[in-house]
Chains A and B, each alone.
Chain A
Amino acid sequence: MTSHDTHWFYALFAMLILFVLPSTSTAELELHISKSAGDGVPIAIAPISGGANFIIEADLKRSGRFTTQRLTNKTKLSIFGGALSATVLKTIKAEYLIRGRLAKTGLDIELIEISTGSKAAVFRIGHVTNRRRMAHKAADKIFERITRLKGAFDTRLAYVTSTGHRPNKHYRLYIADSDGYNPHIILNSNQPIMSPSWSPDGSKLAYVSFESGKSAIYVQDIFTGKKRIISGKKGINGAPTWSPNGSQIAMSLSVDGNSEIYILSVHNGALKRLTNDRAIDTEPAWSGDGRAIIFTSNRGGAAQLYKIPAHGGQARRMTFMGSYNSAADIVGNKIALVRRNGGQFRIAIMQMGGSGADIISTGKYDESPSLAPNGTMIAYATQRKGRGKLVVVSDNGKSKQELHAPEGEVREPAWSPYIR
């Protein structure tokens, strides 16, 4: 090969490289996101006087969307309004830093984006008597700022406890904060109390009580304590559920001997039968738009969920997986339910119109799922060492917290709507 040929060869080779390289580098980089191994948004929380940081941490953790980290050192960085050094910030292995200050006027919170060192949000929670609520409100704000979903930590839970043994068994209807703290009794009874359900405005509770010797559905104002009976018909009066607009209550009645779904007008007391089947139809739940009701029925041989238009019509089976699906609670397009899974009753979550469901609890007898108003958490009752307990699990199943609750068997939690 002559020198000229060699030169040509090299020149061609170089040109080839020059032409080929850009074409390969400009090709789109293909990435892969697998959700199975995902973790939450890492967030560091600095100490706040009064312990608000612990409440915020527990709240954020409970949502299953965050991995929290405590800043133990009381450094300048951790002080509300303190200087933000980019170098020091980088030592925190988190995306955000929360700093706070409890003042007479309320709770001041700073949400700092660590990558840029800028303040993503600064807000003040006005002073309220219940200091825990201030922390819950702060957690709601932080949650909303990061996930763009409204927070539901400043909400309430209603649940029933039973203490003692027959004939001295005692039932209490409680209202507590969403984390189980600040429990207040709103009803004491020697007779069973069941199925509490919140009105959409969060001011009333509908429940079933046997205080008159038979089952009856009551509505009680939680602030005044005034209550009135809305259904005390023959047979079973059970499972009341408020419609999203608060004008109707769906319930299960066995006036005709068989348990059917009825809708009661709150304004005029008009009762409308929705289902008519020889099987048991119970546990109605309103769809988010109030146009349909999902209920449990064994018309197919085993308990399954069915959907029926709220104005009446043909019921359509919704669940096909699992031999037992019941006790639906709906928020948005999420449905929480109880599913029998290998002989164990567990809480599952599915989406409206979907066929599959994710099992998110691990107990043997988990029951009464109730979704938080933003659909990110589910409160349910479970059995631990023979005693009923309340547990809150995140909708993605990544976080599970047993709630602080008074003594006795705790059952049938009902998560309140957003508190206005």
Chain B
Amino acid sequence: MLREILKHPSALLIAIIIHLLIVMIFIVSFNWTEPPVGQEAGIPIELIQEIPLASIQPLDANIPPANIEVTEKENEQNNDQPALDNTAKLLVAQKAAKLLAEQKNRTKANTDKERRKQKLATEKRKKEKQAEKDAREKAAKAYTEKKTKEKAEKENAAKEYAEKKVKEKAAKEYAEKKAKEKAAKEYTEKKAKEKEAKEYAIKKAKEKAAKEKAAKEYTEKKAKEKAAKEYAIKKAKEKAAKEKATKEYTEKKAKEKAAKEYAIKKAKEKAAKEKAAKEYTEKKAKEKAAKEYAIKKAKKKAAKEKAAKKYAAKKAREKAKAKKKKEEDAKKAKIVAAKAKKEARDKKIRDASIKKWNEKKRLEKEKKIAAEKKATEEKEQKKQAAIIAKKKVLEAKLTAAKAYASKAAKLKAKTNWGKRIVTHVKRRWQIPPGTQGMSAKVRIKVSPSGYIRGAVEMVRCGGDATYCASIIQAYKNAEPLPRPSRNDLDRTFLITMDDQ
């Protein structure tokens, strides 16, 4: 977390500032001179001085000060006259005692009065104090409330201010960010435009090359496709021919087989029939023989002989038939074999012929394809050569354009540099007096460090010696001249100097 905070020092700083601001607002809003109120008030100290009643010497209000003085004066005068007798002294003493008694009574009355007064005053003061205290408490309460309110308001204001500041800052940051983004965007756009402009030529060239390449590829592809198609057709035809031949051959074979099988079947059926017929005949013969044996037992011997004879004859016939059949079968098999052999020979001949024909066709086709291919290749080569030549021309053009741009940039840089040299030298040329109308032309070659290589060459001096010397001196004084912006510049200048 600390690392996160440290990653954003500005945020940390702002947080510290806001905290400090809140503390300052709190300090400022707090009234340090405000008296404590309520429970915090404690016991109020009353600064009331208790005056002892004995020390209070009320004056007789009836006796004016002038009379007292007079009395004192009279006393003094009496002192001066010791002749006055004790009567007078007594009278005075009585009078004084009377006065003292009266005074005491008055004093007592006054004291009582004063006590009452004081009591009243104390009560009044107490009441006033109470009232004052109440008022103060009220005021303090009101003040506290007011302060609390103010504080709350201040806090609100501070909060609002802080919020406002934060908002403003955020808005500012946002605006700055936006501005930066905008600037960055503009910059990016500018860069992109520049890049785009720069790349445009390259892109164009590339596009052209790509088009050419694509065209070439397309042509090649077409040719290949055509060749492939032709080849496929050829293959298909070949395949079809082969299939046809195979089919024919298979059919032929099947037919032959079927014929053979049919012949074998027929032979078998015939043999089976013959066998069945034989068996049947034998059975019949046996049954007949048995019947005849039962009926014609008597004739058995003769019949037996006859039967044996017949049997022998039959046997001989059957044997001859079987032999004949065997011979026929052998003959048939021989015929079939010969036929098959002939067919095989024929097929071989036919196949050889087909093969020959197919080979001929293939060769013709290959020859044709080769010719076509050759023509296409030639055409392609021509096309390729044209593209290469065009490309070369374009490259040459591009190189020339690049060279031209480079030279133009160099010329511009040199012109700007020359202007700076002109200004630099002009400021240091102290043209001699009385040389109006004179002019000169010099040639200088400046080193990359700004110093003139060799000497200033006076190409033409259209003034007096002092004038031309002042020009040479001007260049000497002006060294080092402004340096070239790029090192590859041609650094020779021809400068005309005059006062026009």
Contacts and interface: CB of A to CB of B under 8 A. Distances in A.
Interface string A1-40: 0011011001101110110011011101111111110111
A147 B404 contact: no
A38 B427 contact: yes
B196 interface: no
Contacts of B464: 353-354
Contact of A33 (B411, B476, B495): B495
Interface string A216-242: 000000000000000000000000000
A27 to B, nearest CB: 9
Main secondary structure of the interface of A (DSSP, over half): mixed
A51 interface: no
B222 to A, nearest CB: 21
B404 A334 contact: no
B397 A29 contact: no
Interface in A125-169: 147-148
Contacts of B411: 25, 29
Contacts of A39: 426-427
B28 interface: no
A354 B389 contact: no
A68 to B, nearest CB: 13
B410 interface: yes
B422 A32 contact: yes
Interface residues of B, number: 49
B384 to A, nearest CB: 12
Interface string A321-357: 0000000000001100000000000001111011111
A26 B499 CA distance: 28
Contacts, number: 147
Contact of B407 (A15, A22, A396): A22
A115 interface: yes
B467 to A, nearest CB: 9
A38 B433 contact: no
Contacts of A10: 393, 396-397
B260 interface: no
B433 A40 contact: no
B425 A33 contact: yes
Interface residues of A, number: 49
B390 interface: yes
Contact of A11 (B393, B476, B493, B495): B393
A351 B433 contact: yes
Contacts of A179: none
A41 interface: yes
B390 to A, nearest CB: 7
Contacts of A354: 432-435, 464, 466
A69 B431 CA distance: 24
A34 B500 contact: yes
Nearest to B396: A14
Interface stretch (B94-102, B290-298, B413-421): B413-421
A339 to B, nearest CB: 11
B148 interface: no
Contacts of A7: 389-390, 392-393
A35 B421 contact: no
A35 B386 contact: no
Contact of A15 (B396, B436, B443): B396
B495 A21 contact: no
Contacts of B407: 21-22, 24-25
Interface string B366-409: 00000000000000000000100110110011011001100100
B231 interface: no
A389 interface: no
A25 B490 contact: yes
Contacts of B337: none
Interface in B472-500: 476-477, 482, 490, 492-500
Interface string A69-108: 0000000000000000000000000010000000000000
Contact of A3 (B386, B421, B422, B432): B386
B156 interface: no
B495 A30 contact: yes
B430 interface: yes
Contacts of B393: 6-7, 10-11, 14
Contacts of A11: 392-393, 396
Contact of A35 (B426, B434, B492, B495): B426
A354 B433 CA distance: 9
B433 A25 contact: no
Given A14-B396, A29-B418, A349 B433 contact: yes
Interface of A: 3-4, 6-7, 10-11, 13-15, 17-18, 21-22, 24-26, 28-36, 38-42, 65, 95, 115, 147-148, 333-334, 348-351, 353-358, 395-396
13 contacts: A7-B392, A13-B397, A25-B407, A30-B493, A30-B496, A31-B495, A33-B425, A33-B426, A33-B498, A36-B500, A95-B424, A357-B434, A358-B433
Given A42-B427, A358-B434, 16 more contacts: A3-B386, A7-B389, A7-B390, A7-B392, A22-B407, A33-B426, A34-B499, A35-B429, A35-B431, A41-B428, A147-B428, A350-B433, A354-B434, A355-B434, A356-B435, A396-B431
Top 9 A-B pairs, shortest CB-CB distance: A356-B434, A14-B396, A10-B393, A17-B400, A7-B389, A25-B407, A349-B433, A358-B433, A38-B426
